[in-house]
């Protein structure tokens, strides 16, 4: 099954709030999005997942505090960035309660802890497996840094930075206005071909 949008995200961070609203807005735009891991069962061949990424018209990567805790997410991101290099995917990064600099410099405390944990795990494995794993970690780091070079959206608890504009905290803590007014605008600007006459 082909999708208009592939969304890479860490479920426990954003599934029940941001991603839910995002999915609603994408549907209003007439776009079919893969937003739930249940649509792609864990354990299936990664080739199938990568094929979905390649065939999607564009990708939204939601980088949150726990994104790097998932090897699944990191492998998705690596494939997304590789596909972008071959002009097979167009990506919009959303920095959700993290700053691009934290991702780019791996300065987020959780990210540091995660990569240290991976390296510690390497001590008990044979040389060949260690080389493969270390090479994969290098690709993860490269992908994490490269995604920060893309123009995207930064969302924090108190504000949303979109390009040169600053938005006040959304009313009553609802993230729907940000989805509707910011994400949609960015999607239209970046990717084009998205219907503009949408009732809101």
- pLDDT tens for each residue of the chain, 200 residues long: 788 888 999 988 888 777 887 888 788 778 888 875 554 555 556 667 788 888 887 888 999 988 888 888 888 899 898 887 766 557 888 888 888 888 887 765 556 665 555 555 555 556 777 778 778 888 888 898 888 888 778 877 655 444 333 333 333 345 555 556 666 666 666 555 544 333 32
Do the Cβ atoms of 12 and 65 come closer than 8 Å?
no
10 Å Cβ neighbour count for 27?
Answer: 11
Element (H, E) at 8: strand 5-8
Assign domain 5-191 one CATH number from 3.40.50.10140, 3.20.20.120, 3.30.2290.10, 3.40.47.10: 3.40.50.10140
Angle at 64 between CA 63 and CA 69, to 5 degrees: 100
Q: Is 186 helix (H, G, I), strand (E, B) or coil?
A: helix
User: What sign has the CA pseudo-torsion 70, 71, 73, 77?
Assistant: positive
Q: At what angle do helices 46-55 and 71-85 cross, to 10 degrees?
A: 40
User: Does the reported pTM lie above 0.85?
Assistant: no
Examine the residue annotation and report whether 27 is marked as an active-site residue of this protein: no
Q: Which among 25, 76, 175, 186 is annotated as catalytic?
A: 76
Domain boundaries, given as residue ranges, for the chain: 5-191
SS3 96: strand
| Residue 178 token pair | 């940000």
What's the CA gap between 199 and 75, in Å, rounded? Answer: 36
């Amino acid at each position: 099954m082909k999708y208009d949008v592939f969304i890479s995200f860490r479920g426990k961070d954003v599934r029940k709030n941001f991603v839910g609203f995002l999915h609603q807005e994408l549907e209003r735009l007439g776009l079919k999005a893969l937003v739930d891991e249940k649509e792609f069962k864990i354990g299936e061949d990664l080739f199938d997942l990568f094929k979905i990424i390649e065939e999607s018209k564009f990708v939204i990567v939601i980088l949150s505090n726990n994104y790097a805790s998932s090897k699944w997410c990191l492998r998705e991101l690596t494939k997304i960035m590789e596909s972008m290099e071959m002009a097979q995917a167009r990506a919009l990064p959303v920095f959700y309660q993290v700053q691009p600099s934290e991702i780019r410099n791996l300065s987020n405390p959780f990210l540091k802890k995660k990569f240290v944990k991976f390296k510690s795990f390497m001590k008990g494995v044979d040389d060949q497996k260690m080389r493969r794993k270390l090479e994969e970690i290098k690709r993860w780091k490269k992908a994490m840094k490269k995604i920060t070079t893309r123009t995207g959206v930064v969302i924090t608890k108190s504000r949303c930075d979109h390009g040169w504009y600053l938005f006040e905290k959304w009313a009553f803590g609802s993230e729907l206005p940000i989805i509707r007014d910011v994400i949609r605008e960015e999607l239209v600007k970046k990717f084009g071909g998205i219907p503009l006459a949408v009732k809101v």
